[in-house]
Amino acid sequence: AAALMIGVALISAAAVFASSLRDTFGRILERAITADYVVTDESFQGLPETVGQRIAALDEVEAMTPFRAFEAEVTGEGEQIFAIDPATFPQLADLSVVDGGYDGLIEGDGLMLVQKEADKRGVGVGDTLDVTWQNGVESTLTISGLFTEEGLPGTWYVSLDTLQSVTDLPARDFFVLAKLADGADPDTAKLAIDGAVEEFPQAVVETNSEFQQSQEDQINQILRLVTYLLLFAIITVFVAGLMVGR
């Protein structure tokens, strides 16, 4: 009986935690991603850069940025550095910049760095960091801005030009953000984006709200699985207790 009561309490606690996690994650996504459309990669192999280029060329789209990543080593620590278009990125996402900004990325080898990482390293805006990219190329990045929002995948951001200057590998994008042009009809724009990426079946086009819902659905699936496993474990312990008590 005691095991059963403990199990019920654990499941109740898990349900409360799941609800809290889902709500928190939803608020983070809503705050961090301000784009109207999100194009994700269903294959997890990365989208070819043509996807973003075709979307950017549409009359219905005002701004677009891809999310591109490359591994690097900074003072002996491995980091994943994301590349974005710094001219359009502020229209599509909000990193909650607390110092500096994107000018250094637009003008040269600037770096946007999360405040927590900067504090750990004892650096700030204007300081430089030596980077060894995964292909062995070395470069020096100057911190252009600091931010606090960690709802997006990256905590290190450089420009697409910076990344292209250190590698000639074919670009692969984790996802693409796009903003609706002024006066454009949202439904018409989504159809236009769908048409632009039609030959790339792995590209999934969603509105901002659809993307948030799909991410929450994935969290719900994981949490349901955890709950089922917990319930199974409780039943197993309960049955084992009955068998021992005979």
The pLDDT tens digits of the residues spanning 9-47 come to 555 555 555 555 445 444 455 678 899 999 999 888 899
The pLDDT tens digits of the residues spanning 113-156 come to 999 999 999 999 999 999 999 999 999 999 999 999 877 888 99
At residue 246, does pLDDT exceed 80? no
Q: What pLDDT score does 238 carry?
A: 63
Q: What's the pLDDT band for 74 if we cut at 50, 70, 90?
A: very high
Q: What pLDDT score does 109 carry?
A: 94
Q: What pLDDT score does 25 carry?
A: 43
Most confident range, picked from 72-76, 139-143, 242-246: 139-143
- β-strands 138-147, 110-114 pairing: parallel
The mean pLDDT value for 98-108 works out to 96
SS (H, E, C) the chain: CHHHHHHHHHHHHHHHHHHHHHHHHHHHHHHHECCCEEEEECCCCCEEHHHHHHHHCCCCEEEEEEEEEEEEEECCEEEEEEEECCCCHHHHECCCEEEECCHHHHHCCEEEEEHHHHHHHCCCCCCEEEEEECCCCEEEEEEEEEECCCCCCCCEEEEHHHHHHHCCCCCEEEEEEEEECCCCCHHHHHHHHHHHCCCCCCEEEEEHHHHHHHHHHHHHHHHHHHHHHHHHHHHHHHHHHHHHHC
The pLDDT tens digits of the residues spanning 167-218 come to 988 889 999 999 999 999 999 999 999 999 999 999 999 999 898 887 776 6
Q: What pLDDT score does 5 carry?
A: 57
For the chain, give the mean pLDDT.
Answer: 85
Q: What pLDDT score does 30 carry?
A: 65
Higher pLDDT, 224 or 208: 208
Q: What pLDDT score does 35 carry?
A: 94
Predicted TM-score (pTM) of the model is: 0.78
